[in-house]
Amino acid sequence: MTLAPVKTPLVVKKIFPNYIWDIPSTDKVIYLTFDDGPTPKITNWTLDTLKEYHAKATFFCIGNNVEKHPEIFQDILDEGHSIGNHTHNHVKGWKTKSKDYLKNIEAAQKTINNQILHNNSEIVNHKSSIIDRQSSIINLFRPPYGQISPKQGKKLIALGYKIIMWDVLSFDWDHTISKEVCLHNITSKATNGSIIVFHDSVKASKNMQYALPKVLEFFSKKGYFFKAIKLEANN
C-alpha cells in the first residue's frame, strides 16, 4: 500500500516546478497515460478500447518490453499515440546511482529509437522526417514509481527530456483497493488538463480493464477529449 495521494497536492507541484504534473487548459481535455508496457494482450486491449472512443494517450514504455514485443510497440505508434521512456528495466531512481540511472534510460532510448527506425522504412529515407518524428514522441520521460533525485532530474532536463509526472493516480496496480475505488479515484479528481496514470501491465490489468472504459464513457459524456502528450523539446 502506498502513501501517495490520488490527487497530487499543489504544494508538491510548486516544490518541483520543472516537472510536468498537468497541462493547464480551459478546454475539456484529459491526458491518459499508461506505464510499463508493451504487454501482450493487455496493451492490445487498451489500444482497442481507446480506439472505440477516438481517444489518444501516451504510453511510457519499458525498453526491455519494447525489445520483447516490438510488434505491440509498433501498434501503439500506428494508432497515433505518443511514446515516453520509462527506463530499460523499471529501475528506482532513489536506489540507483545517477550514472547507472542515466545509462538505463539511455538504453531504453536507444531501443525505442532503433525500433522506430527499423519498422518505419519510409521515415529512414527522409532524415528530416526522422528528426521530426523522434522529437515529437520520445523526449518524454516518466520515472518508475515516481522516484527521481534532483540530480537525476536536472541531468535529464539538460539532455532535453520532459519529465512527466501526474495529476491523478488511478492506483490500478494496488490490489488492496477495489476496481470501483480505482474508477472513483479518477472520476472524482480529474479535471481539465489532468494527466492520469494507468498501467498496461499484468499486475494492474484487473482494475485498469474495469476502470478505463468507464472513465472514457464518463468524461466523453461530459464533453471531454483525450489527447496524447506532445511537447516540443525547446518548450
Q: In whole angstroms, how large is the CA radius of gyration of the chain?
A: 17
Cβ within 8 Å of residue 135, ≥6 positions away: 232, 233
pLDDT digit string, tens, across residues 131-148:
344 444 479 999 999 999
- CATH number (domain holding residue 79): 3.20.20.370
In single-letter form, the type of residue at position 91 comes to V
Least confident span in 39-48, 64-73, 111-120, 218-227:
111-120
Residue 121, classified by CB atoms within 10 Å of its CB into exposed (0-12), middle (13-18) or buried (19+), is exposed
Query: Mind listing the pLDDT tens digit for each residue in 36-70?
Result: 999 999 999 999 999 999 999 999 999 999 999 99
- pLDDT of 8 reads 97
Q: Which regions of the chain does DSSP assign to beta strands (E)?
A: 29-35, 57-61, 82-85, 140-141, 162-163, 168-169, 195-199, 225-226
The parent domain of residue 42 ranges over 10-226
Q: For residue 33, is it within any domain?
A: yes
Q: Please report whether residue 232 resides in a domain.
A: no
Give the torsion sign (CA, 115, 50, 45, 195). positive
Place of cell 508493451: 38
Structural domains of the chain, count: 1
Q: Whole-prediction pTM value?
A: 0.92
